Amino acid sequence: MKLIIVESPTKAKTLIGFLGGGYQVEASMGHVRDLPKKRLGIDPEADFKPEYEIVAGKQPIVAKLKKLAKTSSEVILATDPDREGEAIAWHIQELIKVKSQRIVFHEITRAAIESALKNPGVVDLKLVEAQFCRRALDRLVGYNLSPILWQKVRRGLSAGRVQSVAVRLIVEREEEIEAFKPTEYWDIFTENSKDGQKFRLKLDKVIPDKETSDQAVSALKQADYEVEKINVRLAQQRPLPPFITSTLQRAAGSRLGWSAKKTMREAQQLYEEGLITYHRTDSLNLSQEAIAEAREFIGKNYGQKYLPEQPQVYRNNSKNVQAAHEAIRPTDINRAENNKLYRMIWERFIGCQMNPALVEKTLVIVKAAGYQLKAEGQRVVFDGWWKAAGRMKLENQELPKLSVKDKLELIRVLAEQKFTEPKSRYTEASLIKVLEEKGIGRPSTYAPILSTIQERNYVEKKDKKLRPTAIGTAVTKFLLRYFPKIMDYDFTAEMESGLDDIAKGGLSSKDLLRNFYSDFSSLLSQVKEKAERAKIEVEKTGEKCPECGQGELVVRTGRFGKFLSCLRFPECKYTGNYQEVVEGIKCPECQAEVIVKKTKKGKQFYGCSRYPDCKWASWNKPRL
C-alpha cells in the first residue's frame, strides 16, 4: 500500500476518488511542527538556528503518520504547491524519518494527479528555506517589539512585521482625511431635448461660488442652444485578465461584500474539491490545454464572432511572479456549479479568451450664452466578452441623433452646490491593491494581514471601510518614531524580494537574517532605555463618571473592543460597556436601538441593545 499525505480531509477525499485501490490518503490537518509559542525559538547567537516542536494537539496525527509510513511501500508528500505546503512536507518528512517522494500539482484532477505520480520529485529545500526565513523575520520582530509596546504603549499589545506597515497605510489615510479642508464648487446642468428625446448637458467650467453660479444660471435660462461639435469614436473594452489571488479577493470584496479571509476560505474549498486551480498565485499564465478548452467552448456556445483569431495572452509586470503556477481558473469549463465565487472565476476565465467589446462613444459640445456645455454618450456596438462575464456599467447616457448647428430646446437649468472630498478610506479590496502595488506581502499573506490587524483591534471596519483605532494610531506613531526602518514601505518590499530570491536559490536566509538583525538588535536596547511612553488619544463622551462624579467618561479600546472608562484612571477604576449605536436603524424584532458588537476574534456583528431580553443579532447591517 502506498501512503499519500496531504493537508486536509477534503483534499484527501477528492484524491481517493481519483486513485482507487493501492493508495491510502491521510491528512496532516495543516502544519504539524512549528516554532514554540511561548519562546523565541530562534537563536541569533547560533546563526539563527530554529527550535521546532510538534504543534499542540498534533501528537496523535504525527504518531499515526509515523506508523503508517513504516508499513507503506511508498510515502508520497502531496501538500500544496507553495512555500507553506513545501514546509509542511519537509516537517512531515523530518518527523516520519522514512524516505519519501514529493509530488506537485496545481489542480486536483485525474490527469494532474496521474501526471504528478509519474513524475515524482523531492522536497524543494529552497522553498522551505524561504518559508523559514519569513517565520524567523516575523518572530524576531514580533517577539522583540511586543514587550516594548507593553512597556511604552499598553499591556497586551503585539506587533507584526508586515501587519504594522498595513496599519500605517490606514493611519496615514485617516490623517489625510482629518487634515482635508473641503472647497466649495458648483455643478450646473441643463436638461434639453431634440425631437422629443431628453438628455442632459453639463457646463464645462469650474464654478467656485453661489454668486458665479447664479450668474451662469440666469444667462443659461435665456440662452439659445446650438450644437457646435460632435466627436464619435469606437473604443475597445478589452477583457479583464484571469484572476490571481489579489484580484480575486478584490473582486469578491466589491461584488459579493466578502472579506479577504472568507474569499480564501471559499476558494480553498473549491480547490480541494477539484473545481478550480490553486488559489494562492500571482501568475497570469494559463495552460495551453485550458486555453484550447475555453476556445472550443466559446465557439460552440457563443459563436465564432466572439472568438479571437489568436488566444489572448496575459503577462505579469512583476519580476517575482511564480512562473510555474497558473492563474485561477475552473478545472472543467463544462462544469456548472451553484457557487458565487466559482461563477465569478468561471466568467472571468471564459471572458479573458473572448473578443473585446466595442462601444461607440459620443462627445457633444454645445454653445449657449458664451458658455460651453458638453454631453457624453455611450452605445454598445458589440458586447464581446461581456456576453460571458456580464456587461460593465456604462455611466454615460444614450444621446439622440444630433448634427452640428442643430438647435436644442431647453427644459430646465439645475445648479448643485458641492464640496471637494478627501480620498476614501480603504476597503479590504483597495488596501490589497495598494499592498500589491507597493510589493508588500504575497498571495498567501493578504488575507492573514487583514484579519490580524482587525482581530488585534488596531483597525476596525465600519460600512466596509477600514479605520484605525486609537490604539492602532498610537502604536503606529510609536513604531514610526523609534523603528522607522521596520515601518518603511520600501524596506518591507525589499524583504519580500529577498524572500523571493531565497526561494529561487539566489540568496541565503542566513545572510538576509544577519543583515536585518544586526541593525534591529542594536536599536532594541536603545529604545528600551530612551523611548518616551506613548499617549493614546481617547474619545470623550461629555458624560460624568457615575462612580467618582468628577472625571469624564471616555471611550477606550481594549483587547475585545471599545469600553467606557473614567478619565481619572488609575485614580478611579470605573469601567462600563460601550454601545456604539447604529443611527436611524431599529431592531426588527422589538424596535429598540441596534448596536455594533464584536466577537472575541474581533469579527463585527449587529445586535439589539436590549440583549439578553431581545436576542436578535445579524452579521449584516440592517437596512433602513
3-state SS, one letter per residue, for 588-602: CCCCCEEEEEECCCC
Give the side-chain half-sphere CA count within 13 A for 576. Answer: 18
SS3 content of the chain, % helix, strand, coil (to 5): 40, 25, 40
CATH no. of 2-123: 3.40.50.140
568 confidence band (pLDDT: 50, 70, 90): confident
504 confidence band (pLDDT: 50, 70, 90): very high
**Whole-angstrom Cα distance, residue 464 to residue 257?**
8
pLDDT tens for each residue of 2-60:
999 999 999 999 999 999 789 999 999 999 999 999 999 999 999 999 999 999 999 99
**b/e string for 286-319 if b means 16 or more Cβ within 10 A?**
beeebbebbbebbeeebeeebbeeeebeeebeee
* Nearest one of 314, 353, 313 to 333, comparing CA atoms: 353
Q: What is the pLDDT of residue 388?
A: 93
**Whole-angstrom Cα distance, residue 535 to residue 1?**
64
The packing angle between helices 9-19 and 110-118, to 10°, is: 80
Once rounded to an integer, what is the mean pLDDT over residues 568-572? 88
Rounded to 5 degrees, φ, ψ at 23 are: -130, 145
Q: What radius of gyration, in Å, describes the C-alpha atoms of the chain?
A: 30
Helix (H, G, I), strand (E, B) or coil at 229: strand
Helix (H, G, I), strand (E, B) or coil at 365: strand
Fold of 245-352: Topoisomerase I; domain 4 (1.10.290)
- Whole-model pTM: value is 0.86
Residue 272, pLDDT above cutoff 60? yes
The packing angle between helices 125-152 and 161-179, to 10°, is: 50
Distance set, CA 552 to CA 515, 516, 580 (Å) = 49, 46, 18
* Annotated catalytic residue 271: no
368 confidence band (pLDDT: 50, 70, 90): very high
Q: What is the pLDDT of residue 559?
A: 64
Share the mean pLDDT of the chain. Answer: 93
Once rounded to an integer, what is the mean pLDDT over residues 351-358? 97
Q: Are 55 and 31 in contact (CB under 8 A)?
A: yes
Distance set, CA 554 to CA 76, 506, 564, 579, 586 (Å) = 59, 54, 6, 12, 25
Give the side-chain half-sphere CA count within 13 A for 61. Answer: 19
Identify any residues that bridge with 377 across adjacent strands, giving them in sequence order.
Answer: 362, 397
Diameter over CA atoms, the chain: 95
Q: What is the pLDDT of residue 604?
A: 77
Identify any residues that bridge with 187 across adjacent strands, giving them in sequence order.
Answer: 416
**Whole-angstrom Cα distance, residue 554 to residue 568?**
10
Q: Are 343 and 337 in contact (CB under 8 A)?
A: yes
Once rounded to an integer, what is the mean pLDDT over residues 102-127? 97
**Whole-angstrom Cα distance, residue 308 to residue 295?**
9
Once rounded to an integer, what is the mean pLDDT over residues 130-152? 96
Q: What is the pLDDT of residue 597?
A: 83
Q: Cell triple for residue 324? A: 510555474
Chain centroid offset of residue 117 CA: 35
DSSP 458: S
Rounded to 5 degrees, φ, ψ at 300 are: -75, -40
CATH no. of 184-238+357-419: 2.70.20.10
Q: What is the pLDDT of residue 624?
A: 61
Residues found in the chain: 624
**Whole-angstrom Cα distance, residue 413 to residue 36?**
71
**Whole-angstrom Cα distance, residue 532 to residue 148?**
11
pLDDT tens for each residue of 230-249:
999 999 999 999 999 999 99
Q: What is the pLDDT of residue 120?
A: 97
Percent of the chain with pLDDT over 90: 79
Q: What is the pLDDT of residue 126?
A: 98
Angle of CA points 615, 618, 623, to nearest 5°: 115
Q: What is the pLDDT of residue 4?
A: 98
395 confidence band (pLDDT: 50, 70, 90): confident
Q: What is the pLDDT of residue 238?
A: 96
Q: What is the pLDDT of residue 561?
A: 66
Handedness of CA 211, 217, 219, 222 (dihedral sign): negative
Q: What is the DSSP string of 380-411?
A: EEE-TTHHHH-PPPP-SBPPPP--TT-EEEEE
pLDDT higher at 293 or 443: 293
How are beta strands 197-203 and 184-194 bridged, if at all? antiparallel
Residue 538, pLDDT above cutoff 80? no
**Whole-angstrom Cα distance, residue 68 to residue 1?**
10
DSSP 276: B
Burial class (CB in 10 A: 0-12, 13-18, 19+), 71: exposed
**Whole-angstrom Cα distance, residue 127 to residue 75?**
20
* Nearest one of 61, 132, 127 to 95, comparing CA atoms: 61
Q: Are 397 and 377 in contact (CB under 8 A)?
A: yes
Residues 6+ apart with CB under 8 A from 315: 284
Q: What is the pLDDT of residue 577?
A: 80
Considering 271, 278, 446, 578, which one is annotated as catalytic?
A: 278
Q: Cell triple for residue 227? A: 450644437
**Whole-angstrom Cα distance, residue 231 to residue 272?**
52
* Nearest one of 361, 356, 336 to 347, comparing CA atoms: 336
Distance set, CA 58 to CA 135, 554, 573 (Å) = 20, 45, 43
The CATH superfamily assigned to 139-179+425-530 is: Topoisomerase I, domain 2 (1.10.460.10)
Q: What is the pLDDT of residue 320?
A: 59
Once rounded to an integer, what is the mean pLDDT over residues 66-82? 97
Q: Cell triple for residue 361? A: 462613444
**Whole-angstrom Cα distance, residue 171 to residue 165?**
10
Ordered alpha helix ranges (H), 46-82: 59-71
Residue 387, pLDDT above cutoff 60? yes
* Nearest one of 367, 332, 84, 424 to 204, comparing CA atoms: 367
pLDDT higher at 568 or 125: 125
Chain centroid offset of residue 70 CA: 43
Helix (H, G, I), strand (E, B) or coil at 27: strand
Amino acid (one-letter) located at 260:
A
- Would you kindly state where each structural domain of the chain is located, as residue ranges? 2-123, 139-179+425-530, 184-238+357-419, 245-352, 538-578, 579-624
Q: What is the pLDDT of residue 563?
A: 85
**Whole-angstrom Cα distance, residue 86 to residue 77?**
9
